[in-house]
Amino acid sequence: MNHDPDCIFCKIISGAIPSRKVYEDDEVFAFHDIHPWAPVHFLLVPKTHIPSMAQAGPGHAPLLGRMMVLAPLLAAEQGCRPYPEGGFRILVNTGGDGGQEVHHLHLHVIGGPRPWLKG
């Protein structure tokens, strides 16, 4: 797998920086956001270092599809109420204009009863 030794998310995935893990398998790692916007707020990241959605290519489609299918399962496990009354938001920031702060592709999965801090 491709890793960036200077990337904070690569360090979290490797265990060099502690996190509150939500889920892990061979390709994906999920952990709670350290500054949550809502009662449920975790990040779902590929273990392979992909800097942003702008660098995702056709070869990443199966991985990204798995992440999108996994997000609602983890959201429910973390306490999001069921659709349609409940739900969650999936947010992917890309680049500076998109608000991306850590340059390792990640999905914010955000939910829980409103009002939320942001969004």
Q: Which of 41, 49, 103, 106 is catalytic?
A: 106
108 given a catalytic annotation:
no
Q: 3-state SS string over the chain?
A: CCCCCCCHHHHHHHCCCCCCEEEECCCEEEEECCCCCCCEEEEEEECCCCCCHHHCCHHHHHHHHHHHHHHHHHHHHCCCCCCCCCCEEEECCCCCCCCCCCCCCCEEEEECCCCCCCC
**Residues acting as catalytic residues:** 106
